[in-house]
Each structure stands twice: as structure tokens, then as C-alpha cells.
Amino acid sequence: MAHLRDCLQAPGGGRVVTPNPEILMASQSDPTLRQCLCEADFCLPDGVGIVWASRFAGQPIAQRLAGSDTIEALLPIYGGSLFLWGGAQGVAADAARRLGQQYPEIQVRGVASGYYEASEETDIIESIKQLQPRLVLLGLGSPKQEQLMQRVYAAYPDAWYMGVGGMLDVLAGGVPRAP
């Protein structure tokens, strides 16, 4: 977490992905997803199946590190700017409001719904470029968030991007976190 925090405070950007076994299997037939996983700066093992597979491959990973655990550990120590993109209409805005109350040192610079028209994507990416957040949380589910991560990072490589799946719904208070 300290290394990730240090990266967020340094110039430049990067990508954080959290593959589980389903994402890893999907990457076998999805070249964009595979490229995103291979090029990520942080690839967190989000699933015990990944840990087991690492042992069979002879490169054991000590433990799983879920993306939701990472977000929950990162937010209290972050203190930077965010852009939230994902969830149903209003979810990102609700998450932004709750994050502002819980972590006043975090500045949420913008939000976008995960349900958008393809024609709106360019405008949202342009908004990210103008708002210049350090961290963009993409809660669109896999593989959509990883595919989007590739496009947004190519357009604005000065931010860090992390796929967070349904975690925006949790941050918004709409659903409890999975056990």
C-alpha cells in the first residue's frame, strides 16, 4: 500500500488491475484485456484461484489481495484527487458525496455513470484530461473497465487507473461489501 501511495504521489500515471480466475480465463480470448493485464503497473491477485495457480506454476504468490481490500486500505492514506466512473446513474455521485464526508482530504474532481452512450465516451475522457485527477476508479465490471482503462490511459497517461468492479456501489452505500 505504501508503494502504491508513493506512486500516486509521484509524477506520471499507471494502471492497477485485479484479475481473478474468470478475468484471467477471459483474457485468453480477449487481446485487449490480455494487453491491459500484461501492461499493468500493479497486478493484484484478486482470488484464491490465482494464488493456487501461482503455486502450480512454480511462482507462488503469498496471498490474495482483493481490489476492494486495496481500495479500503488506500483511501484513508491517499489524500489526493479522484474521478469516479461507473455504476448506475447517480452511484458515482453518491460515492463521491460519501467519500467527501468520510475522507475530507480527498478531492473528488468528477464523476460519470457507467451507463453511457458510446458517443459520450470521448467527452468523459476529455473531462478527465481537464480535471486532472491523480486516481480514476473505473467501476464498470470486467472486461469493460479494463478495455476502457486502455483507452483512457492512452489519452491521459498522467493519472493512475484502477478497475474496481462493483466497489462504487459499496462506496455509495447502496450495497454491502461481499464477504
* DSSP classification of residue 101: H
d(CA 4, CA 63): 17
Q: Position of cell 480514476?
A: 136
54 burial class (0-12, 13-18, 19+ CB within 10 angstroms)? middle
pLDDT for 76 equals: 92
DSSP bridge pairs for 137: 84, 162
Task: Write out the three cell numbers for 118.
Answer: 458510446
pLDDT for 8 equals: 92
* pLDDT at position 178 over 90: no
pLDDT for 25 equals: 95
pLDDT for 177 equals: 85
Share of the chain above pLDDT 70, in %: 100
Task: Write out the three cell numbers for 6.
Answer: 508513493
pLDDT for 37 equals: 96
Which tens digit of pLDDT belongs to each residue from 115-162?
Answer: 999 999 999 999 999 999 999 999 999 999 999 999 999 999 999 999
Share of the chain above pLDDT 90, in %: 91
Task: Write out the three cell numbers for 107.
Answer: 478531492
* pLDDT at position 168 over 90: yes
> How many other C-beta atoms lie within 10 A of the C-beta of residue 5?
15
- Give yes or no for a contact between 85 and 114, defined as CB atoms under 8 angstroms apart: yes
Ranges of beta strands (E only) in the chain are 14-17, 42-43, 81-86, 107-112, 135-139, 160-163
pLDDT for 1 equals: 84
pLDDT for 124 equals: 98
Edge-to-edge order in the sheet of strand 81-86: 42-43, 14-17, 160-163, 135-139, 81-86, 107-112
* pLDDT at position 35 over 80: yes
pLDDT for 2 equals: 86
* pLDDT at position 55 over 90: yes
Taking residues 37-53, report their average pLDDT.
94
